[in-house]
Amino acid sequence: MKEKQGTDQQKAWEREYRTQKLLSPSNVPQADVMRFVRWLKKDYRKREQRLDLEGMRVLDLGSGTGRNAYYFASEGAEVTGLEFSSTAVEMAKAFAEKGGMSIDYRLQSIGKPFPLADASVDIAIDSTSSNSLSDQERAVYLTELSRVLRPGGWFFLRALSLEGDVHAKELVKRFPGPDPDTYIHPDLGVVEKVFSRDSLLATYGPYLQLRELKRTEHYATVAGRKYKRSYWVAHFQKPVGE
């Protein structure tokens, strides 16, 4: 059943990338990711250090059409993107080729073991990508994330919030998904998980140290209707010595 659920999700996202009801293919990085980079630079300056992305190893989890991966590559980072939609990977590769960027895109689910060595990643990002994972897949994802991040490495997370989101609460009530705090999106057919503050910290806290947590709001347009959505934006760090 779990295997079928993962396959269904892959088909649903593949359909979304082809029809683009919600997503807009782009190589422009997301605003929250850029704010994370500025925050990271400020954190380095506090310690009288300088953040230099050139040569850093960056992992983009659920890389989509590569908008965030493209930015880090343009700054000289060595970027790997994991994405399970073949259409999205093709788009991302096209953007990279057109821009002369060398980015290692891999076609695979982020709910399966990552094809990377232990402690080989300096920065990992997940911008509302893992919300479609089942709880079983998320357990693998968290273990793998902790494994591949180097001690002191950074993790950026943008996740859907249950708090402050009337639309999310209605979706959970009317279209409940297979795991707690999930729903099956009535327009897209994808399963999405929403987090309370407590559930987010309980999920990621055992693996990483929280450095910054904010709740933000943005408008999303789906099937011609605009909704205000609430998100958690979190900055984590893997403790040194692990």
The residue written with tokens 């807009």 in the block is 24
Beta strand pairing call for 121-127 and 57-61:
parallel
Please state the separation of Cα 145 from the chain's center in Å: 12
Lowest mean pLDDT among 87-96, 119-128, 206-215, 218-227: 218-227
Mean pLDDT of 23-42: 87
User: Within a domain: residue 33?
Assistant: yes
Lowest mean pLDDT among 47-51, 52-56, 190-194, 223-227: 223-227
Residue 11: pLDDT band (50, 70, 90) is confident
3-class DSSP state of 127:
strand
Q: What is the pLDDT of residue 181?
A: 96
User: Within a domain: residue 31?
Assistant: yes
User: Within a domain: residue 36?
Assistant: yes
User: Within a domain: residue 184?
Assistant: yes
Mean pLDDT of 88-113: 94
Concatenate the DSSP letters of all residues of 59-76 into one string: EEET-TTSHHHHHHHHTT
pLDDT tens digits along 130-169: 998 999 999 999 999 999 999 999 999 999 999 999 989 9
Q: What is the pLDDT of residue 24?
A: 60
- Could you tell me if 233 and 33 are in contact, meaning their C-beta atoms sit under 8 angstroms apart? no
pLDDT tens digits along 59-90: 999 999 999 999 999 999 999 999 999 998 99
Q: Which of 48, 32, 91 is nearest to 212 (CA)?
A: 32
* Domain carrying residue 181: 2-237
User: Within a domain: residue 242?
Assistant: no
User: Within a domain: residue 63?
Assistant: yes
Q: What is the pLDDT of residue 126?
A: 98
Mean pLDDT of 1-27: 63
User: Within a domain: residue 14?
Assistant: yes
pLDDT of 116 over the 90 cut: yes
Q: What is the pLDDT of residue 97?
A: 94
Q: At what angle do helices 135-148 and 2-19 cross, to 10 degrees?
A: 80
Concatenate the DSSP letters of all residues of 148-173 into one string: HEEEEEEEEEEEEBSTT-HHHHHHHH
Lowest mean pLDDT among 158-162, 170-174, 216-220: 216-220
The encoded tokens of residue 20 equal 């683009």
The amino acid at 86 = S
Q: What is the pLDDT of residue 188?
A: 79
Measured between alpha carbons, how far is 157 from 204 in angstroms, rounded to an integer? 10
Q: Is the pTM of this model over 0.75?
A: yes
3-class DSSP state of 115:
coil
Measured between alpha carbons, how far is 230 from 211 in angstroms, rounded to an integer? 20
Mean pLDDT of 207-233: 85
Q: Supply the CATH number for residue 145's domain.
A: 3.40.50.150
Mean pLDDT of 191-213: 97
Sign of the dihedral through C-alpha 49, 50, 56, 59: positive
Question: Phi and psi dihedrals of 185, rounded to 5?
Answer: -60, 125
Mean pLDDT value across the chain: 90
Q: What is the pLDDT of residue 5?
A: 52
Q: What is the pLDDT of residue 1?
A: 45
Mean pLDDT of 33-42: 96
Q: What is the pLDDT of residue 190?
A: 84
Measured between alpha carbons, how far is 59 from 78 in angstroms, rounded to an integer? 9
Beta strand pairing call for 225-237 and 149-160:
antiparallel
Measured between alpha carbons, how far is 60 from 74 in angstroms, rounded to an integer? 14
Contacts by residues 199-205 (CB-CB < 8 Å, ≥ 24 positions apart)? 199/162, 200/159, 200/232, 200/234, 203/138, 203/142, 204/142, 204/157, 204/234, 204/236
Mean pLDDT of 212-219: 91
Number of compact structural domains in the chain: 1
